[in-house]
Amino acid sequence: MTGKPQIALAMKNVLIVGLLGCIAAANLSAQKLAVENVRFQQRKDSKVIVAYDLIGDPKKKYTVFLSLYIPETKKWLRLAGKTVTGDVGKSIRPGRGKRIGWDLLTDVTDGLHGENFVFAVDAYLQRETKKWPLIISGLAAAGGGTALLLLSGGSSTPQRTPPDLPGPPDLPGTN
């Protein structure tokens, strides 16, 4: 009777991985982007190496995230920061044999207990920042400053004129 819960758990894990694969395939096919052949290995020093292939436009850069599903807590843990290195983060180019290293014991000091952990590699097309608006803004600021300097008669110190305000009221008893 102990075999049935294990089979049910295994089927549940296959269902979760299959469902995630379908969602990812539907989302990524619209972007002509795919993460394939994800596999992982834990080394003796407790560092986990996740390998994957990033399929996409070679002229584009992508942002890559690594996440871990922990069945015991039924939660996803996004892995980032100093403990995650390699082909992860911003400015990742497509290619085969990409590698991410994760220092497991730094993030999870007691280690991971259990089985059926799932690593997910997510990739998104990185937005290209346009430099022209920044250059134009800088030129406009410099041009505005020059125009102000020229219109003020060439003086770098602003000329102050007294405001047209009424004088203070008379003090009581001084009339």
Domains of the chain: 35-125 (2.60.40)
Kindly tell me if the per-residue pLDDT of 121 is higher than 80. Answer: yes
CA–CA distance, 111 with 45 (Å, rounded to integer) = 12
Q: What is the pTM of this model?
A: 0.56
Residue with tokens 């070679």: 58
Q: How many helices and strands in the chain, by DSSP H and E?
A: 3, 8
Q: In the prediction, which pLDDT does 13 show? A: 47
Mean pLDDT of the 66-77 span = 89
Q: What's the mean per-residue pLDDT of the chain?
A: 74
18-48 pLDDT tens trace: 445 545 554 444 458 999 999 999 898 889 9
113 burial class (0-12, 13-18, 19+ CB within 10 angstroms)? exposed
Q: In the prediction, which pLDDT does 127 show? A: 82
CA–CA distance, 14 with 31 (Å, rounded to integer) = 26
- Residue 36's closest CA among 120, 131, 125? 120
CA–CA distance, 109 with 117 (Å, rounded to integer) = 17
